[in-house]
């Protein structure tokens, strides 16, 4: 299995987010370390368009066999485009893998045990794809659309949700961005980790912090410090 860590340099919300220090270490280092400690991967590669990120990744123990081309480095490029490009790079060199795992560097609280458990779950369930999820912070049944001009809420939520207690509502789960796994052939055909014969690997909300803003950095650092007490 190959691990692909997508880490472009052009983050707009937080400049150089992927190598910004979190609790004294570059953000991407946590994901590289988790991948290494899982001992599941033949290769752990970082796909980036940034020489700075590449240098940090190599020091952390990952491979950076290429700098990502511009056409898959912009705002509109998907991480699946990045993974498919990496697989094609190795296949053109005559190197093939049975499975691929995408590990986003913005999930620093995902550790080696999560990756190992997810891998075991995928194989125990004989699944083609696995995607990590966590329970939604709030039920989407209490969410709705508001016309920003009238601000009317006449049909904001369904009738059955109006009188329901939180405990009575069904549990909903969301993608948390931490772990994506798939069988190579099926992934290349599907071009996504969400497809037939998929299973969800459930993580806690605390473990599912996804770094997108400066506030997210502060939250992740607080959780890390509390765990070390």
Measured between alpha carbons, how far is 84 from 136 in angstroms, rounded to an integer? Answer: 29
The answer to whether residue 163 is catalytic is: yes
DSSP string, 25-70: EEHHHHHHHHHHHHT--SEEEEEBS-HHHHHHHHHHT-B--SBPPG
Close Cβ partners of 176 (under 8 Å, ≥ 6 residues apart): 107, 132, 133, 134, 203, 208, 210
Of the candidates 92, 93, 152, 163, the residue annotated as catalytic is: 163
Strands (E) in the chain, as ranges, are 2-6, 21-22, 25-26, 43-47, 99-102, 129-135, 173-183, 198-203
Residue 101: which of 189, 197, 31, 174 has the closest Cα?
31
153, two tokens: 């809420």
Catalytic residues, by residue number, are 163
């Amino acid at each position: 299995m190959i691990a692909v860590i997508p880490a472009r340099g052009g983050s707009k919300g937080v400049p150089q987010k992927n190598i910004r220090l979190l609790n004294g270490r570059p953000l991407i280092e946590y994901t590289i370390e988790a991948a290494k400690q899982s001992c599941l991967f033949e290769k752990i590669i970082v796909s980036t368009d940034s020489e700075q990120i590449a240098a940090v990744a190599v020091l952390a123990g990952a491979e950076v066999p290429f700098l990502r081309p511009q056409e898959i480095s912009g705002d509109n490029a998907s991480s699946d485009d990045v993974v498919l490009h990496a697989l094609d790079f190795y296949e053109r060199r005559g190197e093939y893998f049975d499975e691929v795992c995408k590990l986003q560097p913005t999930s620093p609280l995902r550790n080696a045990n999560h990756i190992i458990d997810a891998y075991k779950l995928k194989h125990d369930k004989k699944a083609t794809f696995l995607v990590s999820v966590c329970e939604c912070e709030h039920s989407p049944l209490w969410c709705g659309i508001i016309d920003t001009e009238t601000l009317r809420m006449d049909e904001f939520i369904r009738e059955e949700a109006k009188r329901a207690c939180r405990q009575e509502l069904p549990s909903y789960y969301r993608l948390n961005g931490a772990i994506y796994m798939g069988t190579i052939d099926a992934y290349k055909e599907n071009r996504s980790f969400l497809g037939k014969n998929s299973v969800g690997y459930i993580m806690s909300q605390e473990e599912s912090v996804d770094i997108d803003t400066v506030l997210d950095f502060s939250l992740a650092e607080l959780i890390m410090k509390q765990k070390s007490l």
